[in-house]
Structure 1
Amino acid sequence: MRFVHARHWGRVLAGCALLVATGLGGASSASATTPGKGTDGYCQDDNGVTVIVDFQGLGGETLIRCAPGKQENGVTALQNAGFELSGAGKYGLAVMCKIEGKPADQTCTGMPPEKASWSFWTATNGGKWASAQVGAQSWKPPAGAFEGWSFAIGKSYTEYPPPRTEPVRKAAAPAQAPASTSDSSFPWGLVIGLGIVVVIGLVGAFVMTRRDLDEKSPFLRRKRGGK
């Protein structure tokens, strides 16, 4: 019978523990917005500005967030909604280069190219998107307004598309009833994972003990020595 060396069992146990920890923890999901600012979804009343960011051809889902309260201008609304921004070179945030790190291939050292740029849109609740006639830093959003940012690829300024989400305030989804405490509060995943590690440890200990006993047995020593 071939036995596994103790050092090998240590590696096996360490690997199992790592797998259990990884399985219990799950994959971490990076936040798409700046923590601590804004709320997800539409503003529920006129006390705030709803900001919609449509990445269009860049890929990724359209983001909708609320910048609560009165907003000084379009840029502060974008910031207070929780979006990460990068301005274009010496122009700063007066010319938007990136929102949430997109487009990733732009250096932001100067003006973005016309055919790969963010366009700025405004609307009232229930109205239609209109291309902003002033820069985002000069726009004074009224209470309850909508602000839209849409990325254009391969289009001239006059062809820039508005956000594909209509500027219509929608009610928040009703809160789901809390799950039964008997099902959700007890950490079954942790218990099962630890149980797996314990079982593997016991098996390893049994094998090592069996090995020691066999090596100490005079009968096996004689058998292995051919006597």
Structure 2
Amino acid sequence: MIASRFAVACALLFGAAIVGAAPASATGTDGACPEGGGVTVVVDFGDLGPGPVVRCAAGTPANGIAALREAGIEVAGSQKYGLAVACRLNGLPGPDVESCAGMPSATAYWSYWHAPAGGSWTSSQEGAQTAKPAPGGFEGWAFARPKSANDLPAPPRVAPARQAATPAPAPGGTEGGSFPWGLVIGAVVIVLVGGAGIVVARRRRAQ
């Protein structure tokens, strides 16, 4: 009876340790994509408040809107035109700036850009719902507030360049957050429970 209870306790604790060590899943990853690893999405919020966001959409997104979503950027279209017009990115601008009822204001809107890695930003000649991102390229969005409808928008303030690759940690290393602390703690608890079970069993036999 003691042995069976001990086995069940070990299984439960070991399972909890594995669950605690599992990484959380998320859409997209922070930073520029590695070479050949997807499409990098840059969002420059301008004077809306947050700093620029750079995220990687793995694979080959079907269009500019898909690249935003697969990079983990929330996108909302206008009530009249849907996602043919990207009105809000990550909830910005708010309704005090843009109602998103139809076309955005000519003096407050998201401008859409493309660039090859290490190249220069070019204003998109297509809408994001039909434009096909270049594999390994950069997709840029910048919130524009030109003084008049005739002023050209500025590109994102983040250059379309890949970050320097960092060497991978050696197998079994403890660098960063990759060390499986959950497994270690679970193993220690299992040993302690096992030792306690043996002590109890010996005492009962002695009686």
Deviation at 1:82, TM superposition (A): 0.4
Alpha-carbon displacement from aligned partner over 1:172-194 (angstroms, at most 9, x marks no partner):
55679248x9xxx99xxxxxxxx
Deviation at 1:47, TM superposition (A): 2.5
Judge conservation of contact 1:40–1:66 (CA < 8 Å) in 2: yes
Whether 1:113 and 2:111 are equivalent positions in the alignment is no
Which one of 167, 175, 178 corresponds to residue 177 of structure 1?
Answer: 175
Question: Letter of the aligned partner of 1:69 in structure 2?
Answer: G
Aligned CA RMSD, in angstroms, stands at 2.2
Q: Distance in 2 between matches of 1:157 and 1:47?
A: 38
Structure with more of its chain in helix, by fraction:
1
Alpha-carbon displacement from aligned partner over 1:137-177 (angstroms, at most 9, x marks no partner):
11111210100000011343642010001111112556792
Alpha-carbon displacement from aligned partner over 1:41-82 (angstroms, at most 9, x marks no partner):
110122210000000111211000000001101110011000
SS at match of 2:43: strand
After TM superposition, the structure 1 = structure 2 runs for residues 37-52 of structure 1, keeping only pairs within 5 Å, are 37-52=27-42
SS at match of 1:159: coil
Judge conservation of contact 1:43–1:49 (CA < 8 Å) in 2: yes
Higher relative contact order (CA 8 A, sep 6+): 2
Q: Distance in 2 between matches of 1:65 and 1:81?
A: 6
Judge conservation of contact 2:144–2:153 (CA < 8 Å) in 1: yes
Deviation at 1:36, TM superposition (A): 2.2
Instruction: Report what 2:67 is aligned to.
Output: 77
Instruction: Report what 1:220 is aligned to.
Output: none
SS at match of 1:94: strand
After TM superposition, the structure 1 = structure 2 runs for residues 195-206 of structure 1, keeping only pairs within 5 Å, are none
Aligned length: 148
* Gaps in structure 1 of 5+ consecutive residues: 1-34, 187-227
* Gaps in structure 2 of 5+ consecutive residues: 1-24, 186-207
SS at match of 1:95: strand
Which one of 134, 138, 144 corresponds to residue 152 of structure 1?
Answer: 144
Judge conservation of contact 2:146–2:152 (CA < 8 Å) in 1: no
Q: Distance in 1 between matches of 2:150 and 2:124?
A: 12
Instruction: Report what 2:200 is aligned to.
Output: none
Judge conservation of contact 1:51–1:77 (CA < 8 Å) in 2: yes
Runs of 4+, deviation exceeding 4 Å: 172-176
Instruction: Report what 1:164 is aligned to.
Output: 157
Alpha-carbon displacement from aligned partner over 1:12-61 (angstroms, at most 9, x marks no partner):
xxxxxxxxxxxxxxxxxxxxxxx721111110122210000000111211
Whether 1:138 and 2:135 are equivalent positions in the alignment is no
Question: Letter of the aligned partner of 2:133 in structure 1?
Answer: P
Q: Distance in 2 between matches of 1:73 and 1:125?
A: 18
Q: Distance in 1 between matches of 2:106 and 2:166?
A: 38
Judge conservation of contact 1:120–1:131 (CA < 8 Å) in 2: yes
Name the CA shift for 1:178/1:47 in 2 (closer, same or farther; >3 Å): closer
